[in-house]
Amino acid sequence: MNSLKRIAITCGEPAGIGPDLTIEMAQDEYEAQIIALVDPNLLHERAKLLKRPIELIEATPEKLKSKARSGQLFYLPHELAQPVTTGQLNKANSDYVLSTLQTALDGSIRGQFDAIVTAPVHKGIINDAGHAFTGHTEFFAEGAGVEKVVMMLATESLRVALASTHLPLRNVADAITKESLSQVIAITLDSMTRYFGMSKPRLAVCGLNPHAGEDGHLGREEIDVIQPVIDGFIEKGALVSGAWPADTIFNQDKLQHYDAVLAMFHDQGLPVLKHHGFGKAVNITLGLPFIRTSVDHGTALDLAGTGKASVSSLKAALEMAISMANTH
Give the annotated binding-site residues.
136-137, 166, 211, 266, 274, 283, 292
Angle at the Cα of 104 (from 293 to 194), degrees rounded to 5? 45
For 300, phi then psi, to 5°, come to 45, 60
Beta bridge partners of 244: 206
Binding-site residue set for a divalent metal cation: 166, 211, 266
How do strand 150-154 and strand 282-286 relate by DSSP bridges?
A: antiparallel
Q: Is 92 strand, coil or helix?
A: helix
The closest of 284, 2, 298 to 115, measured between CA atoms, is 284
DSSP 8-state symbol, 191: H
Pairwise CA distance, residues 54 & 46, whole Å: 10
| 8 Å CB contact between 177 and 169 | no
Pairwise CA distance, residues 252 & 273, whole Å: 12
**Dihedral sign from CA coordinates of 291, 198, 161, 34:** negative
Binding-site residue set for substrate: 136-137, 274, 283, 292
Compute CA 190 distance to the chain's CA centroid, rounded to the nearest angstrom: 17
| 8 Å CB contact between 32 and 322 | yes
Pairwise CA distance, residues 91 & 129, whole Å: 5
